[in-house]
Amino acid sequence: MANPVEQALQEGCIVGLANYTILIARNGDEFAIDDSAAPIRASDSQVIGAVMVFHDVSHTRSLSRQLTWQASHDALTGLVNRHEFEYHIEQAMNQAKMHNQQYALCYLDLDQFKIVNDTSGHFAGDELLRQVTALFQSQVRKTDTLARLCGDEFGLLLNQCPLEQAQRIANTLREKVQEFRFVWQDKLFTIGVSIGLVIIDAYSQSITNVLSLADAACYVAKNRGRNRVHVYQAEDLDLARQQGEMQWVTRLAHALEENRFRLYYQSIVPVSQTELSGEHYEVLLRLLDETGIGVTDSVYSGG
């Protein structure tokens, strides 16, 4: 690196060092500094010397590093957050396509977590999440990426990991959580974890797609009794059914926002003499599709 004082003397202008310069004191202490060297001129504009100024920016850079960390990590567990996790998945997908590698994506959802929150409060829930995080970290490799996605849901990206190895790791995590006991104020809790597993390879479509498949596979694991691992397969009927149900949730929400529900009723009239008296009717709740033409009926019969 060029000497900034010599450069200022030779060029006759202010010279600054590269960003993130560190000044090391005699006792070994390090200080982050901004610095510059400027020429000193005589009354006739001749350069007669130079001055170098150091400005301690340790606090500023510490805050900057802290903000950068907070933008990509979960404050409670210290794990990477969903946004950063998606970036790691994107990198894995690129590597898988370029080098024909396999990665594994696990979607983990804690079972019985709500019981802890409801009976012992959110402080207990937070402590449980921290302890489960430590448990997960003890079982994964340094090259893997563990994230807290939201609430009691975690993501795990297994680096260069074929399906068989990924299943072993996922089942080990499941067993460790099953053996784990959480104690809070003399209360003992047992939990489990449902895990959805999908392989990332050269044929994976998108970040949204692989996350959706892993999430849906996790729900299948829950629907099959919880505390188990479900692996996505291309012809997975349970997964297809689960995805269909999840899509209906979105469709119904959009229909409510767009006021596409219609209420109808029609009389129920007996075709033969009956002892029943009074009026009877059938109520139909109709859902118009996005075109406003097709309908889906839900029926209620009553008197």
Among the listed residues 109, 152, 201, 215, the single catalytic one is 152
Choose between 82 and 224: higher pLDDT.
82
Shared domain for 216 and 238, answered yes or no, is yes
Q: Which range has the worst mean pLDDT, 136-150, 153-167, 185-199, 248-262?
A: 248-262
CATH number, residue 29? 3.30.450.20
**Summary mean pLDDT of the chain:** 85
Examine the pLDDT at 26 and tell me if it is beyond 60. yes
Shared domain for 189 and 221, answered yes or no, is yes
Average confidence (pLDDT) over 63-78: 85
Examine the pLDDT at 147 and tell me if it is beyond 70. yes
Shared domain for 103 and 244, answered yes or no, is yes
The answer to whether 238 is a known catalytic residue is: no
What is the pLDDT, as a whole number, of residue 300? 47
Average confidence (pLDDT) over 80-86: 96
Q: Which of 63, 92, 108 is the last residue of a domain?
A: 63
Within-domain flag for 70 = no
Under the banding of pLDDT at 50, 70 and 90, the label for residue 7 is confident
What is the pLDDT, as a whole number, of residue 57? 79
pLDDT tens, residue by residue, 240-275: 565 566 666 677 787 788 888 888 888 887 777 766
Examine the pLDDT at 130 and tell me if it is beyond 70. yes
Shared domain for 90 and 159, answered yes or no, is yes
Shared domain for 200 and 87, answered yes or no, is yes
Percent of the chain residues past pLDDT 90, beyond the cut: 49
Under the banding of pLDDT at 50, 70 and 90, the label for residue 131 is very high
Question: 187: domain range?
Answer: 75-254
Shared domain for 129 and 246, answered yes or no, is yes
* Residues of the chain by 3-state class (helix, strand, coil), percent to 5: 40, 30, 30
Nearest to 303 by CA among 274, 288, 50: 274
Average confidence (pLDDT) over 6-13: 80
- d(C-alpha 152, C-alpha 193), whole Å: 10
Examine the pLDDT at 293 and tell me if it is beyond 70. no
Examine the pLDDT at 303 and tell me if it is beyond 50. no
pLDDT tens, residue by residue, 33-61: 777 788 888 888 888 888 888 778 777 77
CATH number, residue 184? 3.30.70.270
pLDDT tens, residue by residue, 197-232: 999 999 998 999 999 999 989 988 998 889 999 998
What string of H, E and C letters represents the secondary structure of 110-121? EECHHHHHHHHC
Average confidence (pLDDT) over 92-102: 94
Shared domain for 97 and 211, answered yes or no, is yes
Burial of 185 (0-12, 13-18, 19+ CB in 10 A): exposed
Shared domain for 129 and 214, answered yes or no, is yes
Task: Annotate 42-79 with b (16+ C-beta within 10 A) or e (fewer).
Answer: eeeeeeeebeeeeeebeeebeeeeeeeeeeebbeebeb
Task: Annotate 244-256 with b (16+ C-beta within 10 A) or e (fewer).
Answer: eeeeeeeeeeebe
Q: Which range has the worst mean pLDDT, 131-135, 179-183, 246-250, 288-292?
A: 246-250
Under the banding of pLDDT at 50, 70 and 90, the label for residue 299 is very low
